[in-house]
Amino acid sequence: MTRTPITPPSRQPESPEVKKGLHNISLVWIVPVVAVLIGGWLIWREVAAKGPDITVTFLSAEGLTAGKTPVKYRDVTIGTVKDIKLNEYFTEVELTLQMSPEIEPYLTDAAKFWVVRPRVSAQGVTGLETIVSGFYIEMIPDKNGNEARHFKGFDEPQFIEGSGEGTRFILTSREAGSIAQGTPVLLRGVAVGEVLGTELDDTAQNVSVPVFVRAPYDALIKSSTRFWDSSGISLDLNAEGFSVRAQSIRSVIAGGVNFYTPDGDMESEAAPVNTVFPLYGSRKEAETLAYGISQQYILYFDSSVRGLSVGAPVEFRGIRVGEVESVDLEYVSETNSFRVPVVINMQPERVVMVGAENLGAGDYADIAAQLVRQGMRARLKTGSFITGQLYVDLDVYAMAPARYLGDGSSELTELPTLQQKSEEISQSLSSLLEKIETFPIEEIGIRLLGTVEGMENIVTSPAIEQGMNSISEAAAGINQLVTNLDTSVVPATRDALNAAEMALGGVRDMTAPNSPVRYNFEEALKELSAAARSLRTLADYLEQNPNALILGKSGNQETTP
């Protein structure tokens, strides 16, 4: 038997087992991957931490450094100056600011930027801290506006309003004067607010002055509140004389805005935010225009009104009731003459009405017409002999006729006028001079000269000298007579007076109450009285019985048997 050789099975190489996953990644790559992730996160955080970039233009970049100068609000850094460059016209400096992300909602067109640096102004010295810390940009964020990324920087510091700590109001004026940003708002000399700035309105005809009044004083501002400019020193030369008015030293130097509210309106509601008020030039003007009802009248004068100016007072018996609004000159061709129309503005509410309330403009007009019928007239008077200023005086002249110089073409009610007293005096003087000119002064002078010559002849005549000698002789005789009277007549007169005194003493003794002579005299008088009564009785009897003279008295007679 043959044996078949056994061939051993052939062996095939085994393929390696491949495992998929992170297990085959080398640990060497972990470090770069982690570094990349950390770097990306840092980059993302840096990008996320950065706020928006904005541009602000200024006239100069003095004291500002890119990458260093901060942007602050209330001393809190909210951004940094990223880049500084000139604009394309080389007229301004353009700053790129990197702002914080939390400030992005406040980047509106109402936000304000300015550079804080040391400043010396009428309001004081500000920004001294920047001498050590360096200049920085101050920002006032504001949500009330449209989103913006380009801004115009201010040259002067802007006022930062406290949230909920006051109220903002708007004042309008023809001119700003010395009022500027930072000017104090005063109440009885105490600063209660500040002017936020000055700017022209849309028509460039008026100046808009926003002010901020701090609480609780903003509640004192009502719809009837009056604001006036109290800046500097006010010199007033008018019909009332010369006056000087000034507020505090700060308002004299830096200016100031004052306000007051009439006492009757203190209980009304406070004015809302951004209420517009007119800014008057003085307190006097503010008080003058503080009355609600005003009425205009026109006066005509035919004499000089030199010294009468716009704003001159209109008085009724010494009480101011209005002011002069305009003074013009008219030529009347029909009469070939001139006249001066004067328009006055009356505030009838200045007069306290007793027994009448809630009067309107029509009621005041009726009262004025009634006063004119009773004799109310207007005339010009001198308010001050120093200034020579005139004012319009109203009073009732019951006997003065109404004098109207207008032709009725004016739309305003005309009030009758009287001539000025000075004009009346000048007319009287002119009349007196005319009478003096009619005197025969030359003839009187000739006669007076003749009279003087006659008196001179009389004084120097010999008869006057002889008469003076005679008077001297007569005076000597009178002196001699007086001497004789002293030596002879006076003693005799004294003796006669003594005798008369003794006689009067005897008479006084006779008429004394206990004197016998007086007693006998009184008894005799009594007897005479009794006899007189008997005679009266007899006369009465005879008058009744005249036959008694013949027949005798009838009565009880004896009869014979």
Q: What is the residue extent of each domain of the chain?
A: 48-152, 166-288, 295-428, 466-539
Could you give the residue ranges of the DSSP H alpha helices within 255-313? 283-288
Q: What does the block give as tokens for 159?
A: 């006022």
pLDDT band at 458 (very low <50, low <70, confident <90, very high): confident
Per residue in 459-478, pLDDT (tens digit) is 677 777 777 777 877 778 78
Residue 559 confidence (pLDDT): 43
Handedness of CA 511, 514, 516, 522 (dihedral sign): positive
pLDDT band at 255 (very low <50, low <70, confident <90, very high): low
Higher pLDDT, 241 or 520: 520
Q: Is the pLDDT of residue 239 over 70?
A: no
Q: State the average pLDDT over residues 44-72.
A: 85
Q: State the average pLDDT over residues 38-48.
A: 73
pLDDT band at 561 (very low <50, low <70, confident <90, very high): very low
Residue 197 confidence (pLDDT): 80
Per residue in 214-225, pLDDT (tens digit) is 888 888 898 888
pTM of the complete model beyond 0.85: no
Q: Which of 203-207, 270-274, 362-366, 493-497 has the lowest mean pLDDT?
A: 493-497
Those residues whose C-beta lies under 8 Å from the C-beta of residue 211, and which sit 6 or more positions away, are: 168, 169, 170, 171, 185, 193, 194, 195, 196, 257
Q: Which of 153-157, 164-168, 252-256 has the lowest mean pLDDT?
A: 252-256
Angle between helices 462-484 and 441-460 (to 10 degrees): 60
In what helix (H) or strand (E) does residue 296 lie, and over which residues does it extend?
strand 295-301
Q: What does the block give as tokens for 38?
A: 């950390």
Residue 69 confidence (pLDDT): 92
Residue 327 confidence (pLDDT): 92
> Per-residue b/e over 393-421, b at no fewer than 16 CB within 10 Å?
bbbeeeeeeeeebbeeeeeeebbbbbbbe
Per residue in 288-301, pLDDT (tens digit) is 655 667 788 999 99
In what helix (H) or strand (E) does residue 390 lie, and over which residues does it extend?
strand 390-396
Those residues whose C-beta lies under 8 Å from the C-beta of residue 358, and which sit 6 or more positions away, are: none
Higher pLDDT, 13 or 53: 53
Tell me, what amino acid is at 485?
L
Tell me, what amino acid is at 217?
Y
* Cα 191 to Cα 124, 176, 194, 376, distances in angstroms: 15, 19, 8, 47
Residue 221, number of CB atoms within 10 A of its CB: 24
Q: State the average pLDDT over residues 336-348.
A: 88
Averaged pLDDT of the chain: 78
Residue 130 confidence (pLDDT): 72
Q: State the average pLDDT over residues 520-529.
A: 80
pLDDT band at 150 (very low <50, low <70, confident <90, very high): very high
Task: Report how far residue 58's alpha carbon sits from residue 137's, in angstroms, rounded to the nearest whole number.
Answer: 11
Q: Is the pLDDT of residue 236 over 70?
A: no
Q: Is the pLDDT of residue 311 over 70?
A: yes
Q: Is the pLDDT of residue 386 over 90?
A: no
Tell me, what amino acid is at 330?
E
Q: State the average pLDDT over residues 472-491.
A: 75
Q: State the average pLDDT over residues 328-332.
A: 90
Task: Report how far residue 253's alpha carbon sits from residue 122's, in angstroms, rounded to the nearest whole number.
Answer: 6
Residue 137 confidence (pLDDT): 92
Residue 549 confidence (pLDDT): 67
Q: Is the pLDDT of residue 491 over 50?
A: yes
Q: Is the pLDDT of residue 557 over 50?
A: no
Q: Number of C-alpha atoms within 13 angstroms, CB side, residue 25?
A: 9
Q: Is the pLDDT of residue 342 over 90?
A: yes
Per residue in 401-452, pLDDT (tens digit) is 888 888 888 889 899 998 776 555 555 566 666 666 676 777 777 877 777 7
Omega before 141 cis (within 30°)? no
Q: State the average pLDDT over residues 317-338.
A: 88
Residue 83 confidence (pLDDT): 92
Q: State the average pLDDT over residues 353-381.
A: 82
pLDDT band at 558 (very low <50, low <70, confident <90, very high): very low
Task: Report how far residue 140's alpha carbon sits from residue 112's, in angstroms, rounded to the nearest whole number.
Answer: 5
**DSSP string covering 34-82:** HHHHHHHHHHHHHHHH---EEEEEES--TT--TTT-EEEETTEEEEEEE
pLDDT band at 254 (very low <50, low <70, confident <90, very high): low
Q: Is the pLDDT of residue 4 over 60?
A: no
